[in-house]
Amino acid sequence: MKAKKLLVLLTLSIIPLTSCNTKINSSSINTSTTASNSSEDSSYTKTNYEIVKEFMDSFEIENKDAIIENIYLPKKFDLEGVITWRSSEPKVITSEGHVTRSLEKDINVTLTAIAQLGSTKETRRYEVTVKKIDADVQNKLNEAVSQFIFLENDYIDRDIVVLPRVADLHGVYIEWKTSDASIIDLDGNVYRKDQEQEVTLEATFKLNEEQVKKEFKIKVGKISDDSIAYINEDDPRILNKVEVSSLVEIVTAINNVKPGDAIILKDGTYRDVVFDIKTSGTEEHPIFIMAKNAGKVKLSGESRLDILADHVIIANFSFVDGYPSRDTGVVNLYGNYIRFTNNIIKNYEYAGNDYKWLSLTGRFHEIDRNIFDGKTTGGSLLTIWRNDMSSQNHHIHHNQFLNYQDAGGANGYETIRVGTSTYSQSDSNVLIENNLFENISGEIEIISIKAGRTIVRNNTFRACKGLVTARHGKNDLITGNVFFCEQISDTGGIRMYDGGHTVLNNYIQDVNTSSNTRAGIVVHSGVNEVGSTTVMNLQWTPFNVLIKNNTIYNSRNSILIGGKYNVACKDVTFENNLVVSLNYGAIRFDKNPINPVWIDNQFYAPTFLESNSVFKDVETPSWYSSNIINLQKNEDGLSLYEECGASNLTLQTKENTGTNY
């Protein structure tokens, strides 16, 4: 990775922009703000020693005398600070915070943290106790229930929520009842109105023959009608407009920015500008960084945005003819409540280097109505970083992801990656919906989910060589998506590891693969026994998964169960799914699932078993038929069947997603 960054003195000799064809040839000018939101003297800069000591003094390990779950061991602080961890018992607590409990005894562990910022180092030691796993089923169940959190503050302001099918501990199953399905139904649909509502959800936690019930009184937020689809300078939240057309004016505006300010760039090409925003707006009056005319302000060279503040809106820019100066990407959102909207990033990279294009840290970001086109290098295009086990609650919607070049089997070319293995056994609550993915071939994981309770809803995939993959984490919801695979080799739809996922009402057409890891729907085998844990980045075994109301049409490897790992999936329910395979078998078994449940499915294919099935001792069910039904495509190109499978789908197109220019 190159580290090109020159320090440039801003002088009055910098030439202002006069037309959209003018380029300013500065070298990576950093438009850092020194503004402060506090009443303290903003000219005071803390020493590295003070920053390190302040962080280390504030950090504590929660429940250190009775640890029963994975723990948060931070790796970074400030922007440049790094923490290295060592464990006296790495088989009990790893340096990543992954906990493996003993069946026999409590175990004391010393965790050593070495914090470094520049040349300053400080070492702290933390004595903790990892509790043994109680052998009693009722005690295990009670422990899982006590650690379970349904919704933050028992509040929901979205129109969808995940009703988890499993708890995080001990392989505990969960069943739900609702006091009012017109407010929240059992598919997780939330019906909001123009006033707040309350509903009671009852969860029944089950382990073996034991069970515990718990009620959750949920407040449902009212419908919000104040969203603004496309941002312009007439936004009523703007209090002060500052038009700029040169680097000097940009620097001055950012250094003096305050809530409600809109820094508006006039038409032109701005080269090597680093927007470093550290002053926060407010919910009522965000800070705006925007182009005066959408699409007519081009950011090129090593231009990028680093937003280290809350309530900031970035709108209407085109990133062209450039490349990021570091691997975190073109746009880095470090604060909270940041919106990135109506922008284009196209071919913005330097060949041979790994780059993210958009990196999200913090919480409650909105990424909407953008176009991301022509990525060829490694580094996931949109990366959602999870630096602890808290939920991110980001909303990614109405974007276009186009033309991600095939990496030839290399890893690290995901279009969207949610989290990493480190914190995968906790929940993200990220919502990815109403996006268009077209000609995406980076790697096998188009969307790589490494977190729990992630929702992938109502997206359209066209000519994409990969799958939506629940790779780590529990209770993900994948619903309402449409996959047009176009008989491209090694395409697919949805695949999953780990427990509690719901795959609901998806349409998958023209899959063409004989792989043991790709299919219309893949339920893998895994490496751990259900209810136990394993190394965080390994393949956790699927269990208590619901696959319902899906249609798979004219595909090879329509449904694949099993794979190359030793432990079979368990308690997978297939309900009301339609498979119509014109030339291949209906289902492929590579490992015999444990206790599969089949309810009201209809499979039509020349044979029940796919010819590549490794496990062939499968009884042909009564709901399979070799008399293939004739389905007519509707105006959207979907072959639907009223009696079974997917319905009420909405396609995402280039007309209803992306920018307005």
**Residue 402 is assigned to a structural domain of this protein:** yes
Tell whether 66 and 179 lie within a shared domain: no
Query: At 423, which CATH number?
Result: 2.160.20.10
Query: Quick one: pLDDT at residue 39?
Result: 39
The DSSP secondary-structure symbol of 422 reads G
Tell whether 73 and 196 lie within a shared domain: no
Tell whether 560 and 656 lie within a shared domain: yes
Tell whether 504 and 629 lie within a shared domain: yes
Tell whether 109 and 205 lie within a shared domain: no
CA dihedral 254, 257, 260, 265 (to 10 degrees): -30
Give the C-alpha separation, 3 to 328, whole Å. Answer: 12
User: Quick one: tokens of 649?
Assistant: 């789908």
CA dihedral 478, 484, 490, 494 (to 10 degrees): 10
Q: Which among 71, 67, 42 has a CA at the least distance from the CA of 258?
A: 42
Query: Quick one: pLDDT at residue 3?
Result: 34
Q: Which among 562, 534, 521, 593 has a CA at the least distance from the CA of 171?
A: 534
Sheet of 81-87, strand order: 76-77, 81-87, 107-117, 120-130
Give the C-alpha separation, 445 to 470, whole Å. Answer: 9
**Residue 17 is assigned to a structural domain of this protein:** no
Tell whether 656 and 592 lie within a shared domain: yes
Tell whether 108 and 199 lie within a shared domain: no
Which amino acid is present at 442?
G
Residue span of the structural domain in which 442 resides: 391-661
Q: Which of 114, 130, 146 is the last residue in one of the domains?
A: 130
**Residue 159 is assigned to a structural domain of this protein:** yes
Q: Which among 525, 589, 596, 518 has a CA at the least distance from the CA of 555?
A: 518
**Residue 40 is assigned to a structural domain of this protein:** no
Query: Quick one: pLDDT at residue 560?
Result: 98
Tell whether 425 and 531 lie within a shared domain: yes
Tell whether 98 and 166 lie within a shared domain: no
Counting every residue written for the chain, the total comes to: 661
Answer for the pair 472, 424: CB distance below 8 angstroms, yes or no: yes
Query: Quick one: pLDDT at residue 16?
Result: 32
Q: Is 62 exposed, middle or buried (0-12, 13-18, 19+ CB in 10 A)?
A: exposed
Query: Quick one: pLDDT at residue 526?
Result: 94
Strands of 281-435, DSSP E: 287-291, 297-301, 304-307, 312-315, 318-322, 331-333, 338-341, 344-346, 358-360, 366-368, 371-373, 382-384, 395-397, 400-404, 416-418, 431-433
The DSSP secondary-structure symbol of 568 reads P
Give the C-alpha separation, 579 to 562, whole Å. Answer: 18
Query: Quick one: pLDDT at residue 389?
Result: 83
Query: Quick one: pLDDT at residue 1?
Result: 36
> What φ, ψ does residue 372 adopt, rounded to 5°?
-120, 115
- Cα-Cα-Cα-Cα dihedral sign, residues 282, 287, 293, 299: negative
Query: Quick one: pLDDT at residue 43?
Result: 58
Q: Which residues of the chain fall below pLDDT 50?
A: 1-42
**Residue 150 is assigned to a structural domain of this protein:** yes
Give the C-alpha separation, 363 to 337, whole Å. Answer: 6
Q: Which of 130, 145, 177 is the last residue in one of the domains?
A: 130
Tell whether 466 and 534 lie within a shared domain: yes
Half-sphere exposure in the Cβ direction for 429 (13 Å, CA): 21
**Residue 328 is assigned to a structural domain of this protein:** no
Look at strands 210-220 and 197-207 and give their pairing. antiparallel
Tell whether 169 and 121 lie within a shared domain: no
**Residue 522 is assigned to a structural domain of this protein:** yes
Query: Quick one: pLDDT at residue 10?
Result: 31
User: Quick one: tokens of 236?
Assistant: 């009523």
Phi and psi based region of residue 442 (left: phi greater than 0; alpha: psi -120 to 50; beta: remaining) = alpha
DSSP 349-369: S-TTS---SEEE-SS--EEES
Half-sphere exposure in the Cβ direction for 82 (13 Å, CA): 3
Q: Which of 205, 220, 235 is the last residue in one of the domains?
A: 220
Give the C-alpha separation, 198 to 201, whole Å. Answer: 10
Answer for the pair 255, 191: CB distance below 8 angstroms, yes or no: no
Q: Which among 503, 494, 509 has a CA at the least distance from the CA of 462?
A: 509
Tell whether 453 and 599 lie within a shared domain: yes
Rg (CA), the chain: 26
Answer for the pair 415, 435: CB distance below 8 angstroms, yes or no: no
Q: Is 146 exposed, middle or buried (0-12, 13-18, 19+ CB in 10 A)?
A: exposed
Give the C-alpha separation, 183 to 185, whole Å. Answer: 7
**Residue 385 is assigned to a structural domain of this protein:** no
Number of domains in the chain: 3
Query: Quick one: pLDDT at residue 7?
Result: 29
